[in-house]
Amino acid sequence: MSRRRGGLSIVVAVGLQLGVLSLAQAQALRPSAQLQRPATAAAPATGTVDYIVVLVNSEPVTNFDVRQRLLRVEQQLASQGQSLPPREQLLPQVLEQLVVERAQLQQASELGMRVDEATLLQAEQAIAAQNQLDLEAFRRRVVSEGMDLNRLRNELRNQVLLQRLREREVESRVRVSEADIDSFIRERQSANPEALEINLGHVLIQVPEGASAARVSELQARAQGVADRLRAGADFAEQAREHSESPEAASGGQMGLRSIGRLPELFVEATRSLPTGGVAGPLRSAAGFHVLKVIERRQSAAPDFSVTQSRARHILLRPGPQLNQADAVARLAQFRQKIASGQANFETLARQHSQDGSAREGGDLGWVSPGQFVPEFEQAMNALRPGEMSQPVVSRFGVHLIRLDERRQTELSEREQRDLARDLVREQKSEEALRAWSEDVRGRAFVEQREAPQL
């Protein structure tokens, strides 16, 4: 994660429509959701009594709850560079979000779902790591910035509880079939026809300008004979070399793989429904008669299935009893200075000091696609240009010194495309199922409006 000055970065995933907050578990160098600091609304001013705005199954949502959530949403929108809508427009959405959340938390309670202290502690540690702090330093920072630690822990507990409820009620019911994946890929490909590539065998029988009708008929019969022999199984290359007057005749008549956007529309339409090995023609154009054979058809990666990959190295130091986090940062800063001045070699220092399985490879992490590393590591890596080193980066796994070696744009293999498509389809279905489930929970809740919130 990129380092920040000033306040803590505790990112809370706030959905204005659904009100479901997520906290993913960290595992290896895999991604997990960030949590953003909940904005802490000021306590009600002296002489102002907090009051109930709405009851959700007899449980109150207070004016203070609404103010606190509104400030948080405004903070999040501002941090994302979005313009803030008028408060009178935002307020009903925030109130509805609180109602939906409260109803869902009540359902979790009715189902006997609980979040134990160990899980809550893990959530705190994940936030601390993302803010480059150990747990105790994180807690001190929370208090020093005027935040209520117990309120923060309760917020985290609710997030974990809502995530577990979502997994139980929604994600476990979502199924993605191979037919779903096929349909998704076809839709993407239809939206990008340039992704279809085809290699055509081409025999051209030219018709001279001003040729008589008899001559045209003779040349058409010659082209028809080529087509008939090809359909009967004749060797295409031999037919092309013997009869074709196209530029590719000498090389066996193959035009090579081309996107359909680079082929004449006449050729595309004539071969669109043909299988590999199929023959079309004779086709008449201004140049003469064409006989085509589909040699190869390939679906290249659509834009959604092309990714920028990075190849980086890192040196990892894991804080422990013998090395605290501050000392690990200082040591890696020294390594960086020595490497930059030419006094040391990155690969050698990685082999000697890195506490990661990549150490024996000089810290080489190989080619990786987006999303393969946790956000705090990936964001630091993405900010580098090839050949640059990062400052020491703190992640939940320790402290890293990162050097970016190369970047490339690459198409995913067919298997990788299907894996990506499966994830995208699952995400779509999960969002649809989550929306339907949230609406159902909201519809079954008894909601009593009391007083309008005051800001």
Residue that wins the pLDDT comparison between 366 and 415: 366
Sheet holding 254-259, edge to edge: 254-259, 196-206, 288-299, 279-284
Per-residue model confidence as pLDDT tens digits over 232-255: 999 998 898 888 888 788 778 888
**114, 115, 157 from 118: Cα distances, Å:** 12, 8, 11
210 pLDDT band, cuts 50/70/90, is: confident
For position 100, what pLDDT does the model report? 92
Cis peptide before 375 (omega within 30 of 0): no
Q: Quick check: 336 pLDDT over 90?
A: yes
40-49, 335-344, 421-430: which range is least confident on average? Answer: 40-49
Q: Quick check: 7 pLDDT over 90?
A: no
Residue with tokens 């690459």: 410
Q: How far apart are CA 216 and CA 350, in angstroms?
A: 75
Per-residue model confidence as pLDDT tens digits over 138-179: 899 888 888 788 888 998 899 899 989 988 888 878 899 999
For position 411, what pLDDT does the model report? 76
Question: In sequence order, which residues have a C-beta less than 8 Å from that of residue 237 and are 6 or more positions away?
Answer: 252, 253, 254
Residue that wins the pLDDT comparison between 216 and 9: 216
Closest C-alpha to 422, from 200, 229, 243, 182: 182
Closest C-alpha to 82, from 70, 74, 90: 74
Residue 122 dihedral angles phi and psi, to the nearest 5°: -65, -40
Q: Give the pTM.
A: 0.53
Give counts: helices (H), strands (E), the chain: 13, 11
Residue that wins the pLDDT comparison between 50 and 346: 346
Compute the C-alpha angle 240/246/252, nearest 5°: 35
400, β-bridge pairs = 316, 393
Six-digit token string for 243 = 């009869």
Share of the chain above pLDDT 70, in %: 85
Q: How far apart are CA 371 and CA 58, in angstroms?
A: 43
- DSSP H stretches of helix in 86-148: 87-110, 117-130, 135-144
The average confidence (pLDDT) of the chain is 81
Maximum C-alpha span of the chain: 106
For position 43, what pLDDT does the model report? 46
Per-residue model confidence as pLDDT tens digits over 374-415: 888 998 899 899 999 999 988 888 899 999 999 998 877 778
Share of the chain above pLDDT 90, in %: 33
Q: How far apart are CA 145 and CA 139, in angstroms?
A: 10
Per-residue model confidence as pLDDT tens digits over 288-326: 999 999 998 876 545 456 778 899 999 999 988 888 888
Residue that wins the pLDDT comparison between 221 and 256: 221
3-state secondary structure of 273: coil
Q: What mean pLDDT comes out for the span 323-345?
A: 92
Question: In sequence order, which residues have a C-beta less than 8 Å from that of residue 16 and are 6 or more positions away?
Answer: 73, 93, 94, 97
**In order of start, what are the domains of the chain with their CATH numbers?**
197-299 (3.10.50.40), 305-411 (3.10.50.40)
